[in-house]
């Protein structure tokens, strides 16, 4: 072809809907214009992908970037910096900031803060509350909104909706798929006394598997009653996986890399507070069920990192005073590519979970697929690279990772967002230019 392109990614192994094979990717005006042999074409910029694998851009649909109000842990710039360095092209950010993102003003504020500061494209959840439930049908249509997020257990401020009537009201008012943290708050309160001071191995006892499945059964029942669609975040238990596989008509499912990679009690004994998150890291039988039902049998729809950083000083407090949450947006790709290298996961399934899945669940417009007319979002990886994950590599303001010392096979070498190379060989390039993600249901 004699067409002149803005960018050509040359000579890489392309992995997309057509399979895997050597091909070039041509970009015009931030969109993919052609995939194939572009050896005779010219371009304003060329990226040499020889020896590398070119994937559809990885989308992380669950991050907590802490701005506004909690910037000592993270902010939109540092969080998106970590994302871009990790090969992630877009992030969906959670509403439990200060103030909570629960109305048009707080949503507009986040979009304004993100403009020309975030390295990746982005969208923000609006938090569902008892007070705004009647208006969620309007709020979920705001520009830059990826949907409604509800905490059925373990949240702060007004974001907790523990009761069935509150959840029913949310589901009766939303029209898009609503996203849930599904733990039963009533059982969590009953079990707080089981926490042993300074003993993180008691965390999955306090927040036991029954707390999760009890909430998820309630949630699915309410979704079917109201005719709503739901997305269940960070599913961690065997019981939930075995239950949700029968309810895919209403429920989509997220799993995190850490719940697939870490297991109790070893993780708590080795990492202490750095392994503490909600829902907890669980025993090997639950990890095995996530792999069997979530990965191999296809119940899981997306991978999300649940990137939720806290400072080392905060994590140094003895359990249960230590806060729950860990960073993860920068390590999602190398962790999961290591599972690919070890034969536990196919590269095609990785693509399904990190790009196509986000499009299916959330209805992203022109994103989530490497195809003509879609945004030129590419995650370029070296599937054979062997590198060790370390604290020092992390761009997150918290400065640590639970995977310090993890020997990864597979590494993000470049991140391309709408045709612009924002990361190459571990270095950010140019200036932050992330833009809001658009969604089919709100165009």
Quote the domain boundaries for residue 343. 57-362
Task: Specify if 384 maps to a domain.
Answer: no
CB contact at 8 A, 235 and 304: no
46: its two tokens: 């060329």
Beta strand pairing status for 58-63 and 88-93?
Answer: parallel
**pLDDT for 2:** 66
Q: Which residue has the higher pLDDT, 153 or 212?
A: 212
The mean pLDDT of 55-68, rounded to a whole number, is 98
Residue 157: band (very low, low, confident or very high) from pLDDT cuts 50, 70, 90 = low
Residue with tokens 């969604």: 439
- Please, how many CA atoms are within 13 Å of residue 403, restricted to the half-sphere of its CB? 27
Residue 155 has pLDDT above 80, yes or no: no
The mean pLDDT of 178-200, rounded to a whole number, is 97
Q: Is 306 designated active site?
A: yes
Task: Specify if 11 maps to a domain.
Answer: no
Whole-number percent of the chain with pLDDT over 90: 98
Task: Specify if 94 maps to a domain.
Answer: yes
Task: Specify if 436 maps to a domain.
Answer: no
The mean pLDDT of 395-424, rounded to a whole number, is 98
The mean pLDDT of 85-111, rounded to a whole number, is 98
**pLDDT for 3:** 83
Residue 327 has pLDDT above 80, yes or no: yes
The mean pLDDT of 50-59, rounded to a whole number, is 98
Cα–Cα nearest to 52, from 421, 441, 410: 410
Counted domains in the chain: 1
**pLDDT for 156:** 62
Task: Specify if 223 maps to a domain.
Answer: yes
Q: Spot the catalytic one: 184, 306, 352, 375.
A: 306
Instruction: For residue range 31-49, list pLDDT tens digits in order.
Output: 999 999 999 999 999 999 9
**pLDDT for 287:** 98
246: its two tokens: 């029968």
Question: How far from the centroid of its chain's Cα atoms is residue 241's Cα?
Answer: 19
Residue 158: band (very low, low, confident or very high) from pLDDT cuts 50, 70, 90 = confident
Instruction: For residue range 255-272, list pLDDT tens digits in order.
Output: 999 999 999 999 999 999
CB contact at 8 A, 261 and 335: yes
Phi, psi of 269 (to 5 degrees): -65, -35
Residue 68 has pLDDT above 60, yes or no: yes
Residue 1 has pLDDT above 60, yes or no: no
- CATH number, domain at 66? 3.20.20.140
Task: Specify if 427 maps to a domain.
Answer: no
Instruction: For residue range 280-295, list pLDDT tens digits in order.
Output: 999 999 999 999 999 9
Q: Rounded to an integer, what distance in angstroms lies between the CA atom of residue 399 and that of residue 441?
A: 38
Residue with tokens 């249901």: 441
Task: Specify if 201 maps to a domain.
Answer: yes
Instruction: For residue range 112-145, list pLDDT tens digits in order.
Output: 999 999 999 999 999 999 999 999 999 999 999 9
Task: Specify if 169 maps to a domain.
Answer: yes
Average pLDDT, the chain: 97
Q: Rounded to an integer, what distance in angstroms lies between the CA atom of residue 187 and that of residue 110?
A: 34
């Amino acid at each position: 072809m004699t067409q002149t392109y803005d960018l050509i990614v040359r000579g890489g192994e392309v992995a997309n809907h057509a399979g895997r094979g050597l091909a070039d990717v041509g970009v015009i005006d931030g969109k993919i214009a052609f995939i194939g042999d572009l050896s005779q074409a010219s371009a304003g910029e060329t990226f040499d992908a020889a020896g590398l694998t070119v994937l559809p851009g990885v989308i992380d649909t669950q991050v907590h970037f802490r701005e506004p109000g909690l910037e000592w842990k993270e902010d939109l710039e540092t969080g998106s910096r970590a994302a871009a360095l990790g090969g992630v092209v877009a992030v969906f950010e959670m509403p439990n900031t200060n103030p909570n993102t629960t109305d048009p003003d707080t949503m507009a504020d986040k979009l304004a803060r993100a403009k020309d500061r975030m390295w990746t494209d982005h969208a923000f959840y609006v938090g569902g509350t008892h007070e705004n439930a009647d208006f969620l049908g309007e709020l979920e249509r705001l520009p830059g909104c990826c949907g409604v997020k509800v905490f059925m257990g373990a949240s702060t401020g007004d974001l907790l909706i523990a009761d069935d009537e509150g959840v029913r009201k949310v589901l009766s008012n939303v029209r898009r798929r609503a996203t849930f943290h599904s733990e039963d708050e009533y059982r969590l309160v009953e079990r707080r006394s089981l926490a042993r001071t300074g003993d993180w191995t008691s965390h999955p006892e306090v927040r036991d598997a029954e707390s999760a499945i009890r909430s998820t059964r309630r949630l699915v029942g309410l979704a079917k009653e109201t005719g709503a669609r739901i997305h269940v975040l960070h599913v961690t238990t065997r019981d939930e996986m075995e239950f949700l596989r029968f309810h895919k008509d209403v429920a989509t499912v997220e799993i995190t890399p850490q719940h697939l990679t870490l297991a109790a009690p070893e993780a708590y004994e080795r990492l202490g507070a750095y392994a503490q998150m909600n829902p907890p890291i669980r025993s090997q039988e639950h990890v095995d069920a996530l792999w069997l039902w979530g990965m191999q049998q296809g119940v899981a729809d997306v991978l999300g990192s649940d990137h939720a950083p806290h400072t080392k000083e905060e994590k140094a407090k003895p359990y249960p005073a230590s806060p729950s949450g860990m960073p993860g947006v920068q390590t999602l790709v190398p962790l999961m590519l290591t599972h690919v290298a070890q034969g536990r996961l196919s590269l095609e399934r990785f693509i399904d979970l990190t790009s196509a899945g986000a499009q299916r669940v959330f209805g992203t417009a022109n994103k989530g697929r490497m195809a003509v007319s879609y945004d030129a979002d590419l995650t370029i990886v070296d599937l054979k690279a062997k590198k060790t994950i370390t604290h020092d590599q992390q761009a997150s303001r918290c400065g640590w990772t639970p995977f310090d010392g993890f020997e990864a096979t597979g590494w993000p070498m470049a991140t391309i967002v709408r045709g612009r190379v924002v990361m190459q060989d571990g270095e950010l390039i140019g200036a932050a230019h992330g833009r809001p993600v658009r969604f089919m249901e709100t165009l």
